Structure 1
Amino acid sequence: MTDDATIHDPLLGVWATLGEPRLTRELGTSGPGWVGLDAQHGHFDDRALRDALAHRPTGSAPMLVRVAGKDATLIGRALDAGADGVVVPLVDTVADAEAAVAASHYPPLGARSWGPLHGSRPAHAPGTDAGAHPIPLCAVMIETAAGLEAVEAIAAVPGVDMIFVGPFDLSLALGVQVEELLASEDDDAPLRRITRACSAAGIRSGAYAGTPERAAVLARAGFHWIASTTDTALLPLGIGALRGLLRQGQRDQVEPSEGNTAS
């Protein structure tokens, strides 16, 4: 079940798109709560996923793969490569969600074929990151009008661990600007409806933000797992932080300390 501490302290993640395995492994040990590997709209092909997920060091953040489609082979392949969980796009119906769950689990819970890739394994035991945050093995995306209309039923499907929102696609589907979607705080607002459905079902809610500003909005809306930035956005953010440190160092050198001020 969800809890107030988690709601007010969301797990902030990095969304990786470049498909560069060495960079992705470094991201996993740099302090994020989790890392999302985008095989739908990013550069993660089958080989890049295998290389990024293999030989992760102890202590690496959980890594979820957004697969390219709601396809059992793609889901099984990502998990075989060592993903801690999958994010399945364009889930519109209960049947879609049930199929995603079946593809994520071995029998008797599902229909996944056993066959882990040689040398690959998830970095965490199913259901835990050795901390306070359960890892969603099967997250399904709500990003269409049909998915939103069925969100309560989808969230209640046994084996769905998290509803993950794609706000850009959802805003397109609903005919509104993404900032309008994010800003709406009405009781019947789409994002509020999704977090309520997750709370009622006792599962996690997640969303893609892409920027710290949007992440703050999603945190206020009650989302638990938030992709707060991307691997590419971290580069200018890091340069900006470096410039800030440099300016602060220059100010510290030219400004006399209180103890050295002439009387």
Structure 2
Amino acid sequence: MIARIGAWALLGSPAAAAVLAATGPDWLVVDAQHGRFDDRAVCDTLAVVADLPSRPQTFVRVADGAAWLIGRALDAGADGVIVPMVQDADAAAAAARACRYPPLGARSWGQLAGTTGRVAVPAAQVNDTVQCAVMVETATAIGHVEEIAATPGIDMVFVGPFDLALSLGVDVNDLLFDERDGNPLDRIVAACRRHGISAGAFAGSPERARLLIARGFDTVSVAVDSAVLSEAATASLTAARAGS
């Protein structure tokens, strides 16, 4: 299995997100939950990324599962959304409905393509291509992961290992390194495979990415804009001072 390796934008800067997108990730997440992206920044980022010669598939992690937030991100041009804190199949089904136009869902028509000189994507094409990812990141959600993964219209179960570890009362590294039967991460992957959908996870570092990929996750985020900026600047300054 070849995993899809992604980048994660937190800073709220369309320019920084575009630079990140141009480095060649398989997919990009614009984080409007824990990042600095407000509605304006999400819209501007998606417009800038859309103009790249070769752009990655782009998701928005919305602040919560409200239908209007999901629709707004998709109207702005996201290829898909990541919906946090989905606890059961009912919440998963609501997210899937919010992503798609009737008759498959309940999304309202109103794409923002015309505001940037683009042509709106036909509803039927959107319904065929939009990606709905839901986050399983609590002990409660783990108990319902089979039904969540089986929900029609769900394309990916995405795990936040830090929140999941907090919910389970363990350290995130203990969760990642635990090889015992019944590890929640393995349960997520197994449920996704049974139902033919993607198993995604936030890694945030190459080391954690390798552990998650080894467990079977096929869609993993690695490069976070704030971290890579800090790490690259620190390395450059240290190298320059060493040579001065």
TM-score (normalised: structure 1): 0.82
Indicate which of 96, 110, 118 corresponds to 1:115.
110
Specify whether residues 127 and 210 from structure 1 end up closer, same or farther in structure 2 by C-alpha distance, changes over 3 A only: farther
Query: 2:213 matched to 1:208?
Result: no
Query: 2:74 matched to 1:79?
Result: yes
CA distance in 2, matches of 1:28, 1:126: 22
Q: Which runs of 4+ in 1 moved over 2 A?
A: 118-123, 125-128, 236-246
State the AA in 1 paired with 2:35. G
Query: 2:26 matched to 1:33?
Result: yes
Query: 2:136 matched to 1:142?
Result: yes
SS in structure 1 opposite 2:105? coil
State the AA in 2 paired with 1:49. V
Q: Could you tell me which runs of 5 or more consecutive residues in structure 1 were left unpaired when the two chains were aligned.
A: 129-134, 251-263
CA distance in 2, matches of 1:244, 1:60: 33
SS in structure 2 opposite 1:92? coil
| Cα deviation digits, residues 15-52 of structure 1 (max 9, x gap) | 11001011111211111111111100110100000000
- Say how many residue pairs are matched: 234
- Asked if structure 1 preserves the Cα contact closer than 8 Å seen for 2:101 and 2:127, the reply is no
1:83 Cα deviation from its structure 2 partner: 0.5
Indicate which of 33, 44, 47 corresponds to 1:51.
44
Indicate which of 164, 167, 175 corresponds to 2:169.
175
Identity %: 49
Specify whether residues 82 and 239 from structure 1 end up closer, same or farther in structure 2 by C-alpha distance, changes over 3 A only: same
Indicate which of 68, 92, 95 corresponds to 2:87.
92
1:245 Cα deviation from its structure 2 partner: 9.0
- Asked if structure 1 preserves the Cα contact closer than 8 Å seen for 2:176 and 2:212, the reply is yes
| Cα deviation digits, residues 124-177 of structure 1 (max 9, x gap) | x7699xxxxxx7610000011111100011000011000000111111111111
1:244 Cα deviation from its structure 2 partner: 10
Specify whether residues 16 and 122 from structure 1 end up closer, same or farther in structure 2 by C-alpha distance, changes over 3 A only: farther
SS in structure 2 opposite 1:12? strand
| Cα deviation digits, residues 39-75 of structure 1 (max 9, x gap) | 0011010000000001422311111100000100000
Q: Which has the larger radius of gyration?
A: 1
CA distance in 2, matches of 1:114, 1:21: 25
CA distance in 2, matches of 1:228, 1:122: 31
Equivalent position of 2:57 in the other structure: 62
Equivalent position of 2:98 in the other structure: 103
CA distance in 1, matches of 2:145, 2:67: 21
CA distance in 1, matches of 2:228, 2:4: 17
State the AA in 2 paired with 1:157. T
- Asked if structure 2 preserves the Cα contact closer than 8 Å seen for 1:15 and 1:36, the reply is yes
TM-score (normalised: structure 2): 0.89
State the AA in 2 paired with 1:168. F
1:186 Cα deviation from its structure 2 partner: 2.1
CA distance in 2, matches of 1:170, 1:42: 19
Specify whether residues 237 and 126 from structure 1 end up closer, same or farther in structure 2 by C-alpha distance, changes over 3 A only: farther
Query: 2:225 matched to 1:231?
Result: yes
Equivalent position of 1:257 in the other structure: none
Specify whether residues 196 and 54 from structure 1 end up closer, same or farther in structure 2 by C-alpha distance, changes over 3 A only: same
Q: Could you tell me which runs of 5 or more consecutive residues in structure 2 were left unpaired when the two chains were aligned.
A: none
State the AA in 2 paired with 1:178. V
Comparing 9-18 with 100-109, greater Cα deviation is found at: 9-18
Higher helix share: 2
- Asked if structure 2 preserves the Cα contact closer than 8 Å seen for 1:80 and 1:121, the reply is no
